[in-house]
Amino acid sequence: MHRLDFTARPPLIRRSPRAPVADLILNVDALEEANQPFEADLTREFLDGVLRADPPTEFHAAGASHLRGTATKMGRKVLVQAKFRVPLTGPCKRCLNAVRIEEAAELIRTYVPEAQAVHEREEHRADDAEGSFDPGLVDEEAYAGKEIDLAAALREQILLQIPSSPLCREDCLGLCARCGKDLNEGECGCDRSVVDPRWAALKGIQLQKKEK
């Protein structure tokens, strides 16, 4: 496993090229009280490993990314804040051509020792029974021992950046519903008029003129 080295200034993340999807581990004991910067290269293989995991998405990584953030020690709690960009390639919703998108991602997470997290959850259940709620617990995550694994939070943020309706351009014409031609390249000549099925039965009726 690869560790975030907070003994260096600035701290470095060392990653083996043979393990591009390796876990990112933060050593809590190496942290000081003040904000400490850290950064890491997120390889294309790492991003693709997240996007193609089961169940796989329709997107691939369009390149590598770089993570920059700070870690702040608050007693045994640790606040991690980081930003990075997620370069994606996926199909246009209308024409299915490849679309390249780059989304900005932000990770804000408070990590709490496991024993403290259990205690806070018990208090939260008691407060919830009384009708009160602490929103500060929503973004808290437990960690065991003296290490924090950031990989799960990073994977979550990467998947959150996947757009639901990507378009190659705002005025994309899509594909012909009859022949499948890409209408951005020109018309196909198909009759794409839609007839209301409730009136379809009347289409073949011919009205006879009444003789005088």
DSSP string, the chain: -EEEETTSSS-EE---TT-TT--EEEEGGG--SS-EEEEEEE-HHHHHHHHTSSSP-S-EE-S-EEEEEEEEEETTEEEEEEEEEEEEEEE-TTT--EEEEEEEEEEEEEEEEHHHHHHHHHHHHHHHHTT---GGGTTEEEE-TTEEE-HHHHHHHHHHT--SS--SSTT---B-TTT--BGGG-----------TTTGGGTT--PPPPP-
Task: Quick: pLDDT tens for 135-182.
Answer: 444 468 888 888 888 888 999 999 999 999 999 999 999 999 899 999
Task: Quick: pLDDT tens for 40-67.
Answer: 889 999 999 999 988 999 999 999 999 9
Instruction: Please report which confidence band the pLDDT of residue 32 belongs to, taking 50, 70 and 90 as the band edges.
Output: confident
Task: Determine the pLDDT at residue 17.
Answer: 42
Selected residue with higher pLDDT from 80 and 5: 80
Residue ranges per structural domain of the chain: 2-160
Task: Quick: pLDDT tens for 71-125.
Answer: 998 888 899 999 999 999 999 999 999 999 999 999 999 999 887 766 566 556 5
